[in-house]
Amino acid sequence: MKVSVFTDYESLSGFVADEMNNQLLAKPNAVICVASGNSPKRCCELFTEKVKNNGTDISQFFFVGLDEWGGLGPATPGSCHYDFITRLFEPLQLPSSQYHVFNGLADDLQQECVLMDKIIAEKNGIDLMIVGIGMNGHIGFNEPGVDLNLLSHVIDLDETTKTVGQKYFTEKMELRKGITLGLGHLLNAKKVLLMANGSAKAEVIKKAAEGEVSSSFPASIMQQHPNGWLVVDEAAASLLTSVRP
Ligand code: F6R
């Protein structure tokens, strides 16, 4: 796993936006998966600006959403789908034929998983994944104890995720289930960037990068990805010792 440390959130976000844009220049029909949440917010803004300013061809780009809260849909600010619409689909005017996201409102969430896996397989896999890390070491909604080889699945959310997740909503939400790409998808993706910023993430970044690889701390799987890249700001990198460049 490569590790890069950036001065601050802005330069980190600029780097990740460049990676997304460069991926499309190298392969216009690339499949890119991005997390929602706070970490990738600025890189999505910078990416959409870059696409517009540079005239990047996005006519064959295909986007995949990493995860969704069970029971929430695009109309709820704070849902993953809402983030994808406001950060990417609307600014890029991306037609619905060029993305697929989990429908958290579906009656049958298992069927949503089957559909997601089928679409990713038909697209020959994910070229670039941009993920964040939760305070319990989750990636997407791959919660502690998850089978590291799973593809899409529905999961009972960890207590930490239910509590920390409240930050995305203006009023208290009952968060019980998540639907997510699995770590099998992450291991199969051609390239994965795990991004984190801020001192609150320093401890989990240390565990992910320098701790034992274990399903009890899912982000540690990054150490096993042949093309995994940890991209963090100085504050999130502050506890790293052995892997620090
Ligand atoms: C969100 C997601 C989560 C977040 C993680 C970090 O789609 O998949 O795994 O990436 O909880 O969240 P932030 O970036 O808000 O700190």
pTM: 0.97
The CATH topology of domain 2-233 is: Rossmann fold (3.40.50)
The residues facing 156 across adjacent strands are 177
Ligand 1 atom with least separation from CA of 37 = 15
* Tens of pLDDT, residues 23-73: 999 999 999 999 999 999 999 999 999 999 999 999 999 999 999 999 999
Going across the sheet that includes 191-196, the strands are 2-6, 228-233, 191-196, 128-131, 31-34, 62-65, 99-100
> Which tokens in the block code for residue 35?
């997390």
Whether the per-residue pLDDT at 116 is higher than 90: the answer is yes
Domain boundaries in the chain? 2-233
Question: Of 19, 112, 127, 143, which residue is the catalytic one?
Answer: 143
Ligand 1 and 132: CB distance under 6 A: yes
Positive or negative CA dihedral for 67, 70, 75, 77? negative
